[in-house]
């Protein structure tokens, strides 16, 4: 225990946060004869036990189709599904559950906006603005749309340290900019984008703002009303929830004015052989039997995260991020790619003379899980002229031992390859 009161408080906080690791059963195992050090949460986080329990309870006792049956199980399933929507609405401070559309994840959410909102509104010569660090999910749907409509894809510059000052984005606004599609946090570099400056400027210029929130929601409190964007997309599996479920939050007036996404059951109000009319929000965008157990898991995930406290998660992950960054910087032969101030819990790095895939394979032999490659963000890899990186990404269930395990395994990489 430190004599310095501030340090003592930090130590106490760190010990408090350490208790949550026990809620993640997958972390309690050996991989290749070593305790697992899971540093790949940006790709997909581990599941919290309360999430696993909620899904198991639903699957064991309550499963039936939703919105369709008068029988008890269907009502229970509907209550669980809609209860999850309410939990999500509270979690992101949406104005109403009508604004919370369940999708398969961030990718589907962005495609939905591109096709149903932007598609009917864009004409040749209009502009869609993105940044150079976007994930493919926030590039490709816009490229496809531009191809179809004749609109142009404009790309805001990313600085050498991976930062994106607001000016880099706002200076690209023209009177043809219709859509700004932008990440809140970069999955490849960890850059946190200054959306609090960018979004008001975009709204003042009458630009529709679509935020890829996949890497923001797991790490910081998100308030969609305060943020002021028009659409916000995220995935459950990056925030201790299940795969195959995510959210598109959108302003009710915009969602209401959009045509449906897919046709089928549940998204209709009436159907005759001549014509169909659409259900109310958000069901208009949820055709077919949805991922009910996924929604239950997502609901449990947001309740769990709120129990831990998003501010605590942010604070603890920053503490770990500082430790990880310092330790990697101390290696001498390691270069961090993306050093923007105020980063989130992602560190992309290269070791001199070692291909990232080789590094990833060797550290795995030591039980350390990192992602290697282009991280589904090839343009930003091209921007930095690297084929890919190794990426260690943190969650609040990590600890200093995980970081020590990574650093120790780098010594073996060095021995084998240099």
Q: Which residues bind ligand C6P (CB under 6 A)?
A: 42-43, 105-107, 135, 137-138, 183, 187, 212, 214-215, 235, 371, 375-376
Residues tagged active-site: 376
| Nearer to ligand C6P (CB atom), residue 219 or residue 284 | 219
Q: Do 366 and 408 touch, CB atoms closer than 8 A?
A: yes
| Nearer to ligand C6P (CB atom), residue 85 or residue 371 | 371
Helix-, strand-, coil-residue percentages of the chain, each rounded to 5: 45, 15, 40
| Nearer to ligand C6P (CB atom), residue 138 or residue 177 | 138
Minimum Å gap between C-beta 27 and ligand C6P is 18
| Nearer to ligand C6P (CB atom), residue 77 or residue 394 | 394
What is the token pair recorded at 336?
Answer: 């961090």
d(CA 137, CA 153): 14
Q: How far is CA 407 from CA 39, 190, 364, 371, in A?
A: 12, 19, 12, 15
| Nearer to ligand C6P (CB atom), residue 138 or residue 279 | 138
Instruction: Give Cβ neighbours of residue 356 (< 8 Å, ≥ 6 apart).
Output: 350, 372, 373, 387, 388, 389, 390
Q: Do 245 and 105 touch, CB atoms closer than 8 A?
A: yes
Minimum Å gap between C-beta 314 and ligand C6P is 17
Minimum Å gap between C-beta 325 and ligand C6P is 19
Closest residue to ligand C6P, Cβ-based? 187
Q: Do 246 and 85 touch, CB atoms closer than 8 A?
A: no
Nearest alpha carbon to residue 395 among 236, 218, 183, 233: 218
Minimum Å gap between C-beta 24 and ligand C6P is 18
Minimum Å gap between C-beta 140 and ligand C6P is 11
d(CA 107, CA 103): 9
């Amino acid at each position: 225990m430190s004599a310095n009161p501030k340090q003592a408080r930090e130590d106490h906080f760190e010990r408090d946060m350490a208790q949550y690791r026990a809620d993640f059963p997958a972390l309690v195992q050996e991989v290749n004869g070593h305790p697992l050090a899971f540093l790949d949460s940006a790709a997909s986080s581990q599941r919290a036990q309360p999430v696993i329990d909620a899904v198991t309870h639903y699957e064991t006792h309550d499963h039936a189709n939703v919105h369709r049956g008068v029988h008890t199980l269907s009502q229970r399933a509907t209550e669980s599904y809609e209860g999850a929507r309410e939990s999500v609405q509270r979690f992101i401070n949406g104005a109403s559950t009508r604004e919370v559309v369940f999708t398969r994840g961030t990718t589907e959410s962005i495609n939905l906006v591109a096709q149903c909102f932007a598609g009917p509104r864009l004409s040749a010569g209009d502009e869609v603005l993105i940044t150079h660090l976007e994930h493919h999910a926030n590039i490709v749907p816009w490229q496809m749309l531009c191809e179809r409509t004749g609109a142009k894809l404009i790309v805001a510059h990313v600085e050498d340290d991976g930062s994106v000052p607001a000016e880099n984005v706002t200076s690209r606004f023209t009177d043809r900019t219709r859509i700004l599609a932008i990440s809140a946090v970069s999955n490849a570099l960890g850059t946190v984008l200054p959306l609090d400056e960018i979004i008001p400027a975009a709204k003042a210029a009458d630009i529709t703002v679509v935020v890829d929130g996949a890497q923001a929601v797991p790490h910081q409190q998100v308030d969609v009303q305060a943020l002021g964007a028009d659409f916000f997309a995220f995935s459950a599996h990056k925030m201790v929830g299940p795969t195959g479920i995510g959210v598109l939050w959108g302003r009710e007036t915009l969602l209401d004015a959009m045509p449906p996404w897919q046709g089928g059951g549940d998204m209709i109000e009436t159907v005759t052989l001549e014509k169909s009319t659409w259900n109310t929000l958000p069901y208009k965008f949820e055709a077919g039997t949805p991922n009910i157990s996924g929604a239950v898991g997502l609901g449990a995930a947001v309740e769990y995260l709120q129990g831990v406290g998003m501010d605590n998660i942010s604070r603890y992950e920053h503490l770990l991020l500082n430790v990880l960054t310092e330790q990697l910087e101390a290696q001498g032969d390691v270069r961090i790619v993306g050093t923007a101030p105020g980063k989130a819990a992602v560190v992309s790095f290269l070791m001199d003379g070692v291909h990232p895939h080789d590094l990833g394979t060797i550290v795995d032999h030591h039980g350390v899980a990192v992602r290697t490659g282009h991280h589904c963000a090839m343009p930003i890899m091209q921007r930095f002229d690297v084929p890919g990186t190794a990426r260690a990404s943190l969650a609040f269930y990590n600890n200093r031992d995980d970081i020590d395990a990574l650093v120790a395994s780098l010594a073996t990489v060095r021995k084998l390859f240099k």
